[in-house]
Amino acid sequence: MSVRCKFRCTLVSQSLNGFAVHFDPVISGSPENDEFFKYTPTGELKIGPVRPDVAKGFSVGENYYLDISPAPG
């Protein structure tokens, strides 16, 4: 089974350990978003620490897909 989620980047922050990137689910704005939100009303994702070049790949306010599928151990 796999699931595709759409998240919006809400914050890119820097600390002594590197950068962190924060995301919240996209909940409106298109039929796709409305359909997904009906079944996933909340969520959050934070990745970090990440290198500066990775952090620069994300823009606050932009949407990103998160694909979740089984992975081998």
Is there a domain that residue 20 lies in? yes
Assign 3-class secondary structure to 11-62.
EEEEECCEEEEEEEECCCCCHHHHHHHHHCCCCCEEEEEECHHHHCCCCCCC
- Looking at residue 21, its pLDDT comes to 97
**Which domain range does residue 24 map to?**
3-68
Is there a domain that residue 29 lies in? yes
- Looking at residue 29, its pLDDT comes to 82
Give the pLDDT means over successive 10-residue stretches in the chain (73 positions): 89 94 89 74 88 96 94 92
Task: Read off φ and ψ for residue 35, nearest 5 degrees.
Answer: -65, -45
Is there a domain that residue 73 lies in? no
- CA–CA dist 59, 72 (Å, integer): 31
- CA–CA dist 58, 8 (Å, integer): 10
